[in-house]
Structure 1
Amino acid sequence: MMFENTLAFAKKMDAHDPLRKYRGEFHFPKVNGEPVIYFTGNSLGLQPKRTQKYIDEILSDWSELGVEGHFHADRSWWDYHELLAAPLAKVVGAKPNEVSVMNTLTVNLHLLMVSFYRPTAKRFKILCEEKAFPSDQYMLQSQVRFHGRAPESAIVEVKKREGEHFWRTEDVIAKIKEVGDELALVLIGGVNYYNGQVFDMETITAAGTAVGARVGWDLAHAAGNVEVQLHDWNVDFAAWCSYKYMNSGPGNASGVFINEKYHAKTDIPRFEGWWGTKKENRFLMKPEFEPMPNADAWQLSNPPILSLAPYLASLDMFEETGMAPLIKKRKKIVAYLEFILREMDRETKGSFEIITPEARGCQLSVFLHGQGRSLFDFLMENGVVTDWREPNVIRLAPAPFYCSFEDMYRFGQLLKQGVSRL
């Protein structure tokens, strides 16, 4: 498609956007009385307007039914989390029995490590990407130390090549083969938070499995953003947050995937709690744990219903659209944003550089040459909500549910103003 850097072209694109109605389904912050251009769905998605109704339903049931809401609410709390499994499975390419919702992301990664990081004298190393998200780094380091190992010898980082801003799949595969039968676990962010790169999860999973390692993925920046087929790719486990592209609210509940091949393993190690025991026997208060025959066996406590309600509200929209139309628009709107950026870069004589490779989702990371934090501040003051990362990068994530092509055009004009003034 031939793009044009004009308001008329952007409006034409919006007029033909089959998802355009969903923009009106979200609350937008305002600056100077006008809705912002919101580029931080990769950090916290906007609030769907229908969220209020879902939360109010829980509060109403609580006030009218008290404890009986567990069984007699229209959406009973007893099995409320089960309502999320089928739609969430479609988002991450899983079977409904392989998905559950519980806790928060890093808590779930720690819990999953109990099952899937089982170091031995020979096979004890973990492979991850260089400069993974800090929470993943801390989690991996603490897990290794918990097992009596030194992070320096147990954690293997795949580095980018000198002078490049992205990882090459062949380098990841080569490192997996190099570590070989010492490799216990591969755990990488499916989409890198800093440069927005989408890793070749299928190929890397196959390579890790081939050397006898377990393979898991942190999908914090991938779920609801890019195509994921966890079951078909034979991934062992995964976890993700729900508040970025899935718009469930700040710090909200996390999803987990556990491949069904592990569900029938009665001897699999895991931390266990009351809510993971068989549903039909839960109130018999038996002293022995009888695991649920699905991913719910990894649950510990009864789910936080007030947190699940916004997640369910958002998932209902994903059910309405399906992932394919969202991905189709995402590709088009990110391509248009890239076109706008390159036009502005040409007009401003090389003031910034896109460091996100072609393997990407919603995010374009832009390295600023010269302007630095002052340009970021100008954009924020003028209604562009974006994200700053040291040393000199702004991250732009036009989420397809609520970002428009006109937003991309308007952003380009503001960017040009900011560069010319600073």
Structure 2
Amino acid sequence: MEKISYQYSEDFAREMDAKDPLRSFRSKFYFPKVEGNEAIYFCGNSLGLQPKTTQSYIQRELDNWANLAVDGHFYGEDAWYHVRKKSKPALATIVGAHEHEVVAMNNLSSNLHFLMVSFYRPTQERYKIITEAGAFPSDMYMLESQVKFHGLDPDTAIIELVPRTGEYTLRTEDILRVIAENKDHLALVMMAGLQYYTGQVFDMEAISQAAHQAGALAGFDLAHAAGNVSLKLHDWDVDFATWCSYKYMNSGPGNISGIFVHERHAENHELPRFAGWWGHDEGERFRMEKGFKPMYGADGWQLANSNVLALAAHQASLDIFEEAGMEALRKKSELLTGFLEFLIEKISGESGVIEIITPKKPNERGCQLSLLIHKGGKDVFDEFYKHGVVGDWRNPNVIRLAPTPLYNSFLDVYRFAKILEQSLQKFA
């Protein structure tokens, strides 16, 4: 990470923005308003902003539908039969994979279930799953129901990793130790790549290696990691992963998900899966015959034909990602988050009112900082909103803030700091 001597001043923030190579990307997005003024939007970890090109991308497909109807599947620009392929280059870059290892499809929770069909295959001896305690509810419910589907008891089959007493995040050594301790009964390590509550990025490479050494598989929910942190899923030897596109990838509320399946599983016909027409060999698909023959790679996990309008909105954002570049985005993210951290610590001082529970090391976090508010709590958060800050409140007393490098500025962070200072004076 570039070493910067941060300053609590508007001039410093404007100077940083002036030399930011990504500063022009802010103008590519719509910003919501609070009390008639443009918001300081730090909630990209929940829903990313809308690119200004999204409407035209969707309109193009509406025009194709209007003018071509069913022929749109095979004729015209981006014929729908192959439209999923357009997103593959950007997705592969964002998650660190080969193009045949990724595909956009379904939504995240559905994909978790479909991937678990293939990669959670409990036996009498190997049936346990390791995950982090306090995982996002979708993950908890998915794991519970998958375990019950196999006739097992979640209380004995699921091992939840808990931070040490007095700590908020997990130590990698403790994760690896629990994996090793359960090597005789472990079937799967299934965790978030980035923990939604604390903002901690897990060492996915070390976890995958440890899982494999224990005779198990490793999969990750990348909802808060994709488009946010540097990922190298192929090189890290991850077995499978899935993510959503509506947070850092700005593709619209509830929009399409994506999956990664490592290429070593591409032609493993022993893996069970819930098959569908669109996962069948596209060269033989219209023969309409019995006998599922999966496509090579992640495409073989598809079920239904592509959601064209969803992919259009997704592509509007992916094209911006390709233009900006993940390396440049990550570099700015570290600087922007570091500036936010500096200002929060400077303002809160020794008061003990605010505690940042997100790791300090840049490689152990994305752009999100989670603030534990020891006094004032929800009142402080509500005061933020009155002054135009859109963040995220999580019970019982955590505020999540995510300065997103594609569209947030250093001036945004400075303006937030002034509001934070006023709010603490009023309530804390």
Q: Which interval holds the TM-score relative to the shorter structure?
A: over 0.9
Of residues 207, 211, 214, the one that matches 2:214 is 211
Q: Percent same amino acid at aligned positions?
A: 53
Give the alignment partner of residue 162 of structure 1, picking from 162, 165, 179.
Answer: 165
Shift of 1:420: 1.3
Cα offset, 1:272, TM superposition: 0.2
Where do 5+ consecutive residues of structure 1 fail to align? none
User: Residue deviations 1:104-156, cap 9 Å, x none?
Assistant: 00100000001000000000000001111111000000000000000000000
Partner of 1:217, secondary structure, is strand
Where do 4+ consecutive residues of structure 1 move more than 6 Å? none
Task: Please list, as runs of the form range in 1=range in 2, the aligned pairs for 1:32-43 lying within 5 A after superposition.
Answer: 32-43=35-46
CA RMSD of aligned residues (A): 0.8
What does 1:174-185 align with in structure 2 at a 5 Å threshold? 174-185=177-188
Give, in whole Å, the separation in 1 of the partners of 2:238 and 2:351: 45
CA distance in 2, matches of 1:328, 1:306: 32
Q: Distance in 1 between matches of 2:299 and 2:83?
A: 12
Aligned-residue offset at 1:276 = 0.5
Give the Cα separation in 1 of the matches to 2:122 and 2:329.
40
Alignment of 1:417 onto 2:422? yes
Secondary structure at the residue paired with 1:72?
Answer: coil
Aligned match of 2:15:
12
Normalising by structure 2, report the TM-score. 0.97
TM-score, normalised to structure 1, is 0.99
- Letter of the 2:357 counterpart: I
- Displacement after TM superposition at 1:226 (Å): 0.5
Distance 1:161 1:239 in 2: 28
The CA distance in 2 between the partners of 1:9 and 1:126, in whole Å, is: 48
* 1:213-270 superposed Cα distances (whole Å, 9 cap, x missing partner): 0100100000000111010011100000000000000001111001111111223200
Secondary structure at the aligned position of 2:270 is classed as coil
- Alpha-carbon distance in 2 for matches of 1:285, 1:102: 22
Decide which of 324, 329, 352 is 1:350's aligned counterpart. Answer: 352
What residue is the counterpart of 1:368 in the other structure? 373
Report whether the alignment pairs 1:404 with 2:409.
yes
Q: Which amino acid aligns with 1:34?
A: N
Supply the distance in 2 between the matched residues of 1:203 and 1:27 (Cα, whole angstroms). Answer: 39
Q: Which residue in 2 is equivalent to 1:232? A: 235
Residue number in structure 2 paired with 1:89: 92
Q: CA–CA distance in 2 between the matches of 1:14 and 1:33?
A: 24
CA contact (8 A) 2:29 2:52 kept: yes
Question: What corresponds to 1:246 in structure 2?
Answer: 249
1:400 is displaced (CA, Å) by 0.2
Alignment partner of 2:66 out of 63, 67, 73: 63
- What whole-Å deviation, never above 9, does each CA across 1:16-47 have from its counterpart, x for those lacking one? 00000000000000123221011110000000
Counterpart of 1:78 in structure 2 is 81
**Structure 2 Cα separation of the partners of residues 368 and 87 of structure 1:** 38
Total equivalences in the alignment: 421
- Partner-residue secondary structure (3-state), 1:353: strand
Do structure 1's residue 47 and structure 2's residue 20 form an aligned pair?
no
The Cα shift of 1:417 comes to 0.9
SS in 2 for 1:156: strand
Q: Distance in 2 between matches of 1:147 and 1:268?
A: 16
Tell me the secondary structure at the aligned position of residue 156 of structure 2.
Answer: helix
2:193 maps to 190
Deviation at 1:73, TM superposition (A): 2.4
> Which 5+ residue runs of structure 2 have no aligned equivalent?
none
What is the rounded CA distance, in whole Å, between the counterparts of 1:101 and 1:299 in structure 2?
Answer: 9
What residue is the counterpart of 1:258 in the other structure?
261
Does residue 1:121 correspond to 2:124, yes or no?
yes
Q: Match for 2:334 among 331, 335, 338?
A: 331
